[in-house]
Structure 1
């Protein structure tokens, strides 16, 4: 007979159940598209060139990072089945470790989302400008700002409109990417792959450096769990969408890397700013493909920002409902959209964009690294929450399930630690400073809540 261990279910008040929250608007296809669209943004169009600079050892790093990402996706699926509450990592951390930890996770992830949107918008500008040719700083900044506010307006129209746009944009970018990469398999020349380790350093250092670059391309695995309130039957569909979306993205990434690195000679690929256009021109010739790839990147960037614009409002809304974030972030429009959170996220992203175009470029690169670090903190605490519930449960589970869940949680935790190392010491230091700046906000909000409780008790 199998040994069993109890598995604690979150207590009453730790989050609404699926029944309490009603029927979500996002079915499995839309939820999967949300995950895939948020993971795959502009980065895929630059990834082959970035990986080529490390050599084919980057494929080893890719496998390791992909294993960690899939483990993390599985953990989010398990957590969503256990606690299908809006806010994802925030809800899990708060239920497991209390209000302050929950606030800190929400604060950390909020920074990640609007900084990430700004990063996508700036990269998106280069491709959009392929058709406009605006050379002035003001013109390029305007393009980036339009890239932010179009998805914001789409989100304000409601979750169903956002979901439809997400499905369309996901299909529109994945199909051409896959087609070009599959065709590229027939043009591979093994000599093009170049050296195994092109860094000149140790093998371990090369794997770690390539892994650090790859870390950011999997950001977004938690998207469906954060928007659990908008997902139909979240106990089943959040986990399924997260795992399916992550595995699909892993397959596309691997196909793109193997194909592009084999089609284009190593030295040319490593120095390219548009590796897919270069590969297409190498295969077919002509100038048409640069415009085609730019159009794909424009669609991809808009889709990614569309999904992230939804996520940027969901977690603050969940924290505001629990009295941990300012109340205005809980406000919704007649379509049920947390419009205050969407607008606040768009405004913060716009400020970062303006700072990038009119400030120092190094400052913007630093905030992108900062976003990488702040995304890791919620991942780490989510893995810890899963381990906590596995160790302090209240319902029986089989030994096999306990072992599998424990291994997945441990892999996700180790993956998160590796992501911290990949972000670098400077980004980690800056991230901790900004996270500490959130503590005074928590203090003010908590003090106000305690005063209101005291007043209600006196009135009673």
Structure 2
């Protein structure tokens, strides 16, 4: 029988993911169809985009190390949300959950747009908009159905697709390098901007390829031994993707002419065709990209539900997101609601924007960088305010340096997104304010102090890090009395398990 949680949340989530599945989730969420479409999106900047890619890779590794440390400190589902809430309070936690949730379903729209480009290697070669939209909707709802069938099925599908997607990427990152023609690179800075401006703009697009590095921390409650496995999956998964990304993108830039690359909807397919001649190699790459896209959509659909699930259990997201269905404890409402929103923005983008992929990518990057920024700040807060006396000076300097790099990288990514993207991103972020007010209206006035609840099931399996700074117990906080008649308990379920 399933365990149950308080507040009518239903059965507790099952810790069904081991280290291989958690690593596959990280790699599968990072490597989707974005990398397969990225060379075309970066082509307008020229080879200088590769410099931006290196800078983004260093920033992504700093973020991965930061999330690894944070996961040891708080090995509970929610990732960026729970880190911001525990460090800066519930409103900061809500903003992070809201922003990340937007990233997840908007990112799915971007992934599926790139995925359609590879499907159309075989069908709808004329790129008729109506058929493209239909293909995109099929691509969104297949992973949703897999997630609704249970976490074990989703995890197994993630492992299989991760293995399959690596084949063309490893091939291009190794054999493809032997076929590079320097004449294909074109002008080093083809954007017409200053070098710094071009690097910043290209980096904002390139960062999309690393979104998902925090995936294991978001679903930590579904990972066995999260205090140990989540940091390892995060760091090792990001490192593996970094090597494949850099070498694979370099190979595509060097095997497809600059002019053709900018107009390509399937650049890895074009690169394979140029290497071998004919179309068979390109078709094989396209099949792998299709499988890769489904794997990424499967992982991100899980994240779409897990982040609001964690926040809803604390009364900081609508209660429907906290309800688990079936014996496997699936957050069905979050899966369905997020897929519906991704479907709507996909249809809207196909009918309104010419450069669909880039527009959605920039919005997804901006809403993702906000939780990254808060997570880096939370790490600095714990290192410099709450835990500096318990760390050896050398380790303190190292961890602070990494967190500062992650924070600077996040600010830089916001700056490179462009004014229009920042405008739209800020607008959708602030749309969360009335939602927060609506949630708080249920609680009425803050009354008596209530003891925090027992640790969440996912926190009980934590493996303490003996070197992590000892954190003081959470303060008794005033929480609202639950009202009757709403079917929801809005008392904060505060984590008591800290390492």
Equivalent positions of 1:226-241 (< 5 A) are 226-241=218-233
2:115 maps to which residue? 124
Q: How many angstroms does 1:279 deviate by?
A: 1.9
Tell whether 2:239 aligns with 1:211: no
- Following superposition, the deviation at residue 226 of structure 1 comes to 0.5
Q: Aligned pair 1:397/2:391, yes or no?
A: yes
Could you list the runs of 5+ residues in structure 1 that have no partner in the other structure? Answer: 1-20
Match of 1:56? 47
TM superposition shift of 1:195: 3.4
Q: Distance in 1 between matches of 2:201 and 2:229?
A: 35
Name stretches of at least 5 consecutive residues in structure 2 with no aligned partner: 1-11, 446-479, 485-499
Report the counterpart of residue 419 of structure 1 in structure 2.
413
Which residue among 337, 342, 348 is the counterpart of 1:349? 342
* Structure 1 residues 30 and 423, CA gap change in structure 2 (3 angstroms): same
Rounded to whole Å, the distance in 1 between the matches of 2:59 and 2:211 is 12
> 2: distance between equivalents of 1:216 and 1:236?
27
Separation in structure 2 between the aligned mates of residue 199 and residue 359 of structure 1, nearest angstrom: 24
Q: Pick one of 386, 395, 405 that aligns with 2:379.
A: 386
1:69 lines up with 2:63 in the alignment: no
Q: Once the 2 structures are TM-superposed, how far is the Cα of residue 404 of structure 1 from its aligned partner? A: 1.0
Q: CA deviation at 1:349?
A: 0.9
Residue 94 of structure 2 is matched in structure 1 by 103
Mapped to 1, the partners of 2:38 and 2:117 lie a distance apart of 16
Rounded to whole Å, the distance in 1 between the matches of 2:353 and 2:203 is 27
How many residues were matched structurally?
436
Q: Indicate the residue corresponding to 2:234 in structure 1.
A: 242
Q: 2:152: which partner in 1?
A: 160
Distance 1:261 1:432, change over 3 A: closer
Query: Hey, what's the Cα distance between the residues in 1 that align with 2:352 and 2:179?
Result: 43
Q: Does structure 1 conserve the Cα–Cα contact (< 8 Å) formed by 2:205 and 2:361?
A: no
Kindly state the Cα deviation for residue 216 of structure 1 after the two structures are TM-superposed.
1.4
The corresponding residue for 2:252 is 260
Matched, 1:432 2:423: no
8 A contact 1:39–1:217 mirrored in 2: yes
Change (3 A) 1:208 1:125: same
Q: What is the 5 A alignment of 1:245-394?
A: 245-334=237-326, 335-361=328-354, 366-394=359-387
**Partner of 2:306: helix, strand, or coil?**
helix
* Aligned residue among 125, 143, 146 for 2:135: 143
Tell me, yes or no, if the aligned pair for 2:118 and 2:266 is still in contact at 8 Å: no
Report the Cα offset of residue 186 of structure 1.
Answer: 2.1
Question: Please, what TM-score do these two structures have when normalized by structure 1?
Answer: 0.89
Q: Which runs of 4+ in 1 moved over 6 A?
A: none
Equivalent pair of 1:23/1:233 in contact (CA under 8 Å): no
- Evaluate the alpha carbon distance shift between residue 437 and residue 272 of structure 1 in structure 2; reply closer, same or farther with a 3 A threshold: closer
Q: Tell me whether 444-453 or 283-292 shows the greater mean CA deviation.
A: 444-453
Please, which moves more after superposition, 303-312 or 200-209? Answer: 200-209
Change (3 A) 1:317 1:23: closer
CA contact (8 A) 1:112 1:371 kept: yes
Take 1:90 and 1:52, find their aligned partners in 2: how far apart are those partners? Answer: 35
Structure with more helix by fraction = 1
Q: Which of 1 and 2 has higher RCO (CA within 8 Å, sep 6+)?
A: 1
Which runs of structure 2 are paired with 1:177-192 in the superposition (5 Å)? 177-192=169-184
What is the CA-CA distance between 1:454 and the residue it aligns to? 7.0
Task: Calculate the TM-score normalised by the size of structure 2.
Answer: 0.83
